[in-house]
Amino acid sequence: MASVKKIPFKGYTNSADFFANLPENKTEVAIYVDYHLGDENGEEVYFKIQELGFTNVALATGETTLIHPLVRQVGKEFPQHCG
């Protein structure tokens, strides 16, 4: 969907690859972390990213119940505000 809307996109299957290629802009870049990120806990990765100063972070999940009160939780569909 990102390519259809001509939106730059980088995807990673694990947090190590993401942390090795951190975006420079910590306030504007949108970061979506999968709640079930392979063998990793997406919630823990979410907080690590926030600790680095990134402000536009969301946890993408199919869960309908609140995971954590300090987590911005979104569904797994393509974000409507993009493009």
For 56-69, how does the pLDDT look when each residue is reduced to its tens digit (9 = 90+)?
999 999 988 999 99
Per-residue pLDDT, 76 = 83
The pTM assigned to this predicted structure is: 0.85
Q: For the chain, which ranges sit under pLDDT 50?
A: 83
Rg (CA), the chain: 12
Cα-based distances in Å from 36 to 1, 58, 81: 21, 13, 23
